[in-house]
Amino acid sequence: MDISRLSSDDAAGCADAVALLNATHAVDCPAALLSTPSGYAADLRYGWDLDPGRSYLAREEDGSLVGLLQLFAPTYDNTNLAWIEVEVHPDHRGRGIGSELVRYGEQVADELGRTSFGITTWDLPKAEAFAKRHGFEQKAVEVNRRQDITNLDWPTVQKLYDEAVLASADYEVVRIIGALPDEMLEGMVAVTASINDAPKDDLDIEDDVFTPERLRAYEAARQGHNQTMYRVIARHRTTGELAGHSVVTVERERPHIAEQNDTAVSRDHRGHRLGALVKTGMLLWLREAEPALTQLDTWNAESNNHMISINEQLNYYVVARALDYQKSL
């Protein structure tokens, strides 16, 4: 078996990777949202915020793709950490390919000087046994939820928005498409950093570190992914402070698909239903701006009860659970 790093410029390799992901997820998680080949190439080129991960293809001698290793070693923060996902084609499981890819990932992590090693798997008995067999300890549970936009109860959304407006009379709602104006950048750094208050469960990770440069890098990456970025921001009327936001991206290649990138409210401004304000305000805006939109995906820690309660009021349903494991190298 040959393991080689995949380049973002390798269109055929990216198509092969997506084909393998489609095959594995047809068995493991049929409802999961997967990239297209061009989207996969964009992930390798731009990542989330111009800090892309790596992918490695495992091929047999005849060239057939049997496994995929995805590895992320962050550079903005948590620079001791490497995180992987391992996929093995259903027709080739039980042959030790997954174990070989884990060992290869550990080798790459060690070469990068990383001392903490994590893996994410779907919540499946075989996946859990696989992680534990390789010395990983479960640290967190993440849940993927999806909103069916076509069957959304819009009167309820409007009602929740109107109630949030009344509870947040000291705040105004600002809509922005694409990059932030320069004068809002510093204020948005603090709002974005509020995501660090979300539950981390038992994960051995540091807080994310945000700067104006990193926020601009995130915007550039969304543009590189050919996505339209919508922001709904709550701003204090008297002080002008940015208090909370919701960010959703819509694919231009598949305009029926959107993803919730972030929702956060600054600690000093909580208790005014700003989370509900920006999330429902976003939905009402998307109904006007993106008529082809049919689904909106979001991820939360299973322990994030506050955000989950808002999502459940907005008719999100569970697509899948993912387990996060970690160990020291």
Kindly state the DSSP code that residue 194 receives in the 8-state scheme: G
Residue 107 domain-assigned? yes
Is 88 found in the same domain as 229?
A: no
Is 57 found in the same domain as 162?
A: no
Is 212 found in the same domain as 85?
A: no
Give the integer Cα–Cα distance in Å for 261 and 264.
Answer: 10
Is 231 found in the same domain as 306?
A: yes
Is 150 found in the same domain as 99?
A: no
Best CA proximity match to 314, nearest among 290, 271, 266, 281:
281
Residue 328 domain-assigned? no
CA distances to 92, 105, 125, 241 from 88, in Å: 7, 14, 16, 49
Q: What is the CATH number of the domain that holds 25?
A: 3.40.630.30
Over residues 225-242, the pLDDT tens digits come to 999 999 999 999 999 999
Is 54 found in the same domain as 27?
A: yes
Give the integer Cα–Cα distance in Å for 89 and 81.
Answer: 27
Is 64 found in the same domain as 22?
A: yes
Its pTM stands at 0.94
Residue 93 domain-assigned? yes
Terminal-to-terminal C-alpha distance of the chain: 25
Give the integer Cα–Cα distance in Å for 93 and 214.
Answer: 40
pLDDT value of residue 314? 86
pLDDT value of residue 107? 98
Over residues 259-292, the pLDDT tens digits come to 999 999 999 999 999 999 999 999 999 999 999 9
Give the integer Cα–Cα distance in Å for 178 and 292.
Answer: 19
Which of 135, 160, 187 delimits the end of a domain?
A: 135
Give the integer Cα–Cα distance in Å for 7 and 13.
Answer: 8
Burial class (CB in 10 A: 0-12, 13-18, 19+), 13: buried
Gyration radius of the chain's alpha carbons: 20
E runs forming strands in the chain: 2-5, 54-59, 65-72, 81-88, 116-122, 137-148, 171-177, 227-236, 242-251, 257-265, 295-301, 316-328
- Considering Cα of 211, then 215, then 220, then 222, what sign does the dihedral take? positive
Residue 140 domain-assigned? no
Which of 135, 162, 182 delimits the end of a domain?
A: 135
Residue 329 domain-assigned? no
In order along its 329 residues, the chain shows pLDDT tens digits of: 999 999 999 999 999 999 999 999 999 999 999 999 999 999 999 999 999 999 999 999 999 999 999 999 999 999 999 999 999 999 999 999 999 999 999 999 999 999 999 999 999 999 989 999 999 999 999 999 999 999 999 999 999 999 999 999 999 999 999 999 999 999 999 999 999 998 899 999 999 999 999 999 999 999 999 999 999 999 999 999 999 999 999 999 999 999 999 999 999 999 999 999 999 999 999 999 999 999 999 998 999 887 888 888 888 999 999 999 999 99
Domain of 190 in residue numbering reads as 145-320
Which of 95, 110, 135 delimits the end of a domain?
A: 135
- Considering Cα of 85, then 90, then 92, then 94, what sign does the dihedral take? positive
Residue 71 domain-assigned? yes
Is 165 found in the same domain as 313?
A: yes
Is 158 found in the same domain as 125?
A: no
Q: Count of domains in the chain? A: 2
pLDDT value of residue 39? 98
